Amino acid sequence: MDFTSLILLLMAALGIISSNTPITIAMIVLLLIRVLHLHQLFPWLEKYGLTVGIIILTIGVMTPLASGKMSLQTIGESFLNWKSLLAIAVGMLVAYLGGRGATLMSMNPTVVAGLLIGTVLGVALLRGVPVGPLIAAGILSLLIGKT
């Protein structure tokens, strides 16, 4: 077994140990792509995987609005509550950091491995969710002064 597959297997094991199904499934899918010699999928996943993931995440977040569980009135009232206004500001900040992170990751690929490993470990060991690499890269870009 090659070293890369061993790392994916180790990350899948971390997912299993921490009962984190998304990380386990992601690592097993990537491992299967390697084992089944479907390497032609990797460039597509590298190019579009993040976009597809963000689309699916956005669909999940917007479903209460689309299904009618969240009314237009509720959304309008969110502009009158300080917690909701703070949530809007934090959402804007996170989107900004994600944009900076995407730029940093594309311009400085040497940090990508550390960010990904840190995110997987955070998901596996701290019960986080794997949305962190872009935001982590955005925070890193603020710390190291990259735009």
Residues across the chain: 147
More confident residue, 29 or 73: 29
Which stretches within the chain are classed as H helix? 3-17, 21-35, 41-67, 72-77, 82-107, 112-126, 132-144
Does the reported pTM lie above 0.85? no
Residues 57-100 pLDDT 10s? 889 988 998 998 988 888 888 888 888 889 889 889 988 888 88
How would residue 114 be classed by pLDDT, with cut points 50, 70 and 90?
confident
Tokens of 107: 């311009």
pLDDT at 39 over 90: yes
Q: What is the pLDDT of residues 92-106, one digit of tens each?
A: 998 888 888 888 887
CA pair distance 135, 133, nearest whole angstrom = 6
